Amino acid sequence: MNGGLLTRLRALHQDGERGAVLVTVIGVAAVLMLIVTTVLATAASGTIKSNRDEDWNNAGAAAYAGLADYQSRISADNSYEQYGKLGTTFSTGSTFSGDKGNKAFGWKASDGWVGVPGSDGTNADGSRDRQYREWFRYEVNNADYYGQGVVKVRVTGKAGQVTRSLVANLKGTGFINYLYFTDYESGDPAITGDRCTPLHWNESTPRGVTRCAAIQFAARDTLSGPVRSNDRFTICGATFENDVQSTAADAVYSKPSGCANPVFAKNSTTGLRQVQHVSSIGLPPTNTNLIQETRSDLSDTTVPQPGCLYTGPTTITFTAAGKMTVYSPWTKAVQIKGDPARGSNAAPACGTPGSSPSGNTLGSPGGQTLDVLRNNLAYVQNVPSTAGDPNRWGTDTPPNYSCRSADGSQAGNGVGFPAAGETTRTLSVSTPYGCQSGDVFVKGQFKGAMTVAAQNYVYVTNDLTYVNSGASANPNLLGLVGQKAVWVYNPVAASMCTDFTKDPFARSYSDWGYQCVPMNFTTGSRTAKDIEIDAAIASNNGTFTVQNYDQGRYASSNSTSSIRTYGQGTLTVLGSIAQKYRGPVATTAGTGFSKAYSYDNRLLTTAPPKFLQPVATTYGATTQVEVKPAFTADGTAVP
C-alpha cells in the first residue's frame, strides 16, 4: 500500500512539472506573438508614414511645378493676366476675359486637376502604375496688376491624398528693375543735334557713316543701384555701389585714356567685382498705346479703370495734400471712345475742359485743382488733326490763349514757356516748347500713386519729391514717361550770354561758341540749384537729360583770367531711369549737374500704375509663402 501510494505521488509530481512547462511555453508563445504583432504594426505604421512623407514632399513639388507653369504662360504672353476663373475668395476683385482653355484654372471638385509632366508613374520596364502621381491647379488675382503691375497666384499641388498650397506675387522683370538702364550709350541725335548714327558696341560702322560718340560716366558720378545697358559703358572714374551689367561680351566697359579706374562694389561672398555680361532688354517703340488707358468704351478686362487724357501743352503741379493743379487749355475731352477717337466721355475726376470766367476749369488761368488720380494714368497727347476727333481744333485756338512766351516776347506754348527772359538759342531742339505739342510740365510734392506720360516731352520744372520720402513705409509712387525725352528744366537767361567766337579777348575759348549763364528762375538769381526727382522715369524713344547741361562758362570782365565755369549743382534721382539713348547732364569742363542717383528698392516688387512695359519680359516671384491647403484631394475647396 505504501509502495502504491508512493508511485501515485510520483506520477502527480511529474504531471505538475509537465503542467508548469506547458504554462511556461504558452506564456513565452504569447510574448513572442506580442512582439511579432508589435513589429508588424510598427513596420506597417512606418510604411504608412513613409508613404505620407513622400506624398507630402511630392505635393509641394507639384505646387512649385504649377507655379512654374503659370510663370511660363504669362512670360510668353504679357496679357495673360487677364485670364482666370472667378469663384473662390482668392480671386475677389479680379476681372477675367476667359480662361483660354487652361484646365489649371479649375476650382470645383468636378474641374479635376492637371498632371505634372514627368510624374506619370512609368517604371523601368515601361509599365505604368497609374496615369500621374502629382497634380496641380491654380487661382489668379489680377486686382493689383493694373495699379502695381503685380499678379497674385495661389497654386495647390496634390500627391496621393495630400494637398499643399503656396501663394506668390509675380512681377515682370525689365528696365524698372534697374536704377539706370540704356539701350544706346551714345546720345540722341534729335536732342544733341549731332550728325551721326547711333550704333551698339557690336555693330560695325558702315562706310560714309559717322558713329555717335559714347557718353561717359564722370568721376563725380555715384550710382547707388543696379545699372544695365544693351551697349558698352564708357566710364571715367565713376562709383558704382551695385551690379553693373552689359551685353558687351568682351568688355562690359571701356575707360578713356587719362581717366581714373571706376570703383565697383564687390560681392560680399566672393569678393569679386559685380560686373556681369547679360542679354538685352527691348524698349517699346512708342508709348501711344497708353492712350488706350483713357478710353471709356472698353471692357473691364481691358481697361478696368480709365485714366485721364489731356491735350496740348499741360502743366501739373502736385501738392503735399494729395492734390494736383492741372492747366490744359487745349483739352476738350478728358476721356475718349473708339480708335481713332470719335466720341468723348466726361470724367469728373479728370477735370472740366474749357475756360470759364469764374475759373476752376482746365483751361482757365490757374487751371483746376483735383485729387491725384488713384492708381491711374494721366496721358498728354499732341493736339490731333484727325477730322472727327473730339480734341481737334482745326484753325481755332483756345479762348484768351496766345502761342507766346510768358512775357510775350517770343514764340512759346502759352502755358508759361519759355519763361520771361529765357533764351532758347542754346537748345538744339528746334521747337522745345511747341504750341500744340503733347508736352507736360510737372513739379511739386507728390502724394499718391499714378503715372504721368506724354506723347512728346516731359519737363520736370522744379523739385518733384515724395511726401515723407524717407519714411520706412512710403506709400507714394510716381511714374514719368516721355516718349521723346524727359527733361530737367534748366533755362538760361538771354541777358547773360556771350558769343566767344566773336569776343577778341577770348580767342582761345572760341570752341565754347555761344555760352550763357544758367538762371535760377525760382529765385531770379544766378545761383547754383540742386534738383531732386523722386520717380520711375522712362523715355522709350528718347532720353533723360538736362537742358543746357553744356552752358555756364562766362566772363566777368575783359580778361581771359576772369573766365569762369559755372556748375549748376547736384541732380538727385530716387527711383529708376530707363532710356533709349544716354542723356548728358554735365560736361568734363565742369558745367551741368553732378549725379546722385539712388534706386528705389520698392520697384523690385511693384511698379507705378500703368507704367511703360518692356517689349518682352519674364515674370519672377517677388514674394512666396506656403499657406493652408486651398483644396482637399478630391478637389473640394476648403472653406
User: Nearest-CA neighbor of 415 among 404, 424, 400?
Assistant: 404
Give the pLDDT score at 9: 44
Distance CA 475, CA 199 (A): 40
More confident residue, 587 or 634: 634
Give the pLDDT score at 639: 85
Which three cell numbers, joined as nine digits, stand for 635?
478637389
Where residue 8 falls among pLDDT bands split at 50, 70, 90?
Answer: low
User: Nearest-CA neighbor of 440 among 346, 550, 324, 541?
Assistant: 324
* % of the chain beyond a pLDDT of 90: 51
More confident residue, 60 or 512: 60
Phi, psi values for residue 110, rounded to 5° = -80, -10
Q: Mean pLDDT score of the chain, rounded to an integer?
A: 84
Sequential DSSP letters for 565-576:
E-EEEEEEEEEE
H or E, element range at 60: helix 2-76
Distance CA 313, CA 462 (A): 17
Q: Work out the widest C-alpha separation in the chain, in whole angstroms.
A: 165
Answer for the pair 64, 166: CB distance below 8 angstroms, yes or no.
yes
Distance CA 483, CA 439 (A): 10
Report for 63-72, 299-308, 555-564: range of highest mean pLDDT: 63-72
Answer for the pair 412, 423: CB distance below 8 angstroms, yes or no.
no
Distance CA 55, CA 378 (A): 52
Distance CA 144, CA 305 (A): 12
Task: Calculate mean pLDDT across residues 40-69.
Answer: 76
H or E, element range at 254: strand 253-254
Distances (CA, A) of 155 to 63, 78, 104, 289, 601: 6, 20, 9, 32, 27
Cβ-proximal residues to 34 (8 Å cutoff; 6+ apart), any chain? none
Sequential DSSP letters for 602-625:
GGGT---TT----SS-EEEEEEEE
Distance CA 142, CA 555 (A): 60
Distance CA 309, CA 389 (A): 13
To 10 degrees, the CA torsion angle through 51, 54, 59, 61?
A: -160
Q: Which of 31-35, 380-384, 593-597, 621-625 has the lowest mean pLDDT?
A: 31-35
Task: Calculate mean pLDDT across residues 534-554.
Answer: 91
Give the pLDDT score at 33: 62
Sequential DSSP letters for 222-245:
EEES-EEESS-EEBSS-EE-S-EE
Distance CA 499, CA 582 (A): 28
More confident residue, 425 or 369: 369
Give the pLDDT score at 200: 94
Cβ-proximal residues to 204 (8 Å cutoff; 6+ apart), any chain? none
Tell me 377's DSSP state: E
The helix/strand/coil state of 3 is: helix
Enumerate the domain spans of the chain: 20-174+623-627, 175-286+528-551+567-604
Cα angle 507, 511, 516; round to 5: 95
Distances (CA, A) of 308 to 328, 345, 346, 439, 443: 12, 11, 10, 15, 18
The structure's pTM equals 0.81
Give the pLDDT score at 154: 97
Distances (CA, A) of 422 to 444, 458, 560: 22, 19, 26
Phi, psi values for residue 411, rounded to 5° = -65, 145
Distance CA 395, CA 529 (A): 41
- Prior bond to 340 cis, omega within 30? yes
Q: What is the pLDDT of residues 302-325, one digit of tens each?
A: 888 899 999 999 999 999 999 999
User: Nearest-CA neighbor of 599 among 555, 511, 536, 506?
Assistant: 536
Which three cell numbers, joined as nine digits, stand for 335?
476721356
Task: Calculate mean pLDDT across residues 198-209.
Answer: 92
pLDDT at 297 over 50: yes
Count how many Cα atoms sit within 13 Å of the Cα of residue 468 in the half-sphere of its side chain: 10
pLDDT at 179 over 90: yes
Give the pLDDT score at 472: 62
Task: Calculate mean pLDDT across residues 110-133.
Answer: 70
Give 533's strand partners: 464, 573
Task: Calculate mean pLDDT across residues 343-360.
Answer: 90
pLDDT at 494 over 60: yes
CB atoms near residue 371 (< 10 Å): 11
pLDDT at 524 over 50: no
Q: What is the pLDDT of residues 560-614, one digit of tens each?
A: 556 666 667 889 999 999 999 999 998 877 788 888 899 999 998 888 999 988 7
Which three cell numbers, joined as nine digits, stand for 195?
550728325
Beta strand 592-599 with 222-224 is parallel
- The sheet carrying 162-173 orders its strands as 114-115, 135-141, 150-159, 162-173, 618-627
More confident residue, 423 or 2: 423
Task: Calculate mean pLDDT across residues 47-60.
Answer: 77
pLDDT at 376 over 80: yes
Q: What is the pLDDT of residues 22-47, one digit of tens each?
A: 555 555 566 556 655 554 555 555 54
pLDDT at 441 over 70: yes
User: Nearest-CA neighbor of 105 among 70, 152, 145?
Assistant: 70
* % of the chain beyond a pLDDT of 70: 82
Answer for the pair 591, 566: CB distance below 8 angstroms, yes or no.
yes
Give the pLDDT score at 427: 87
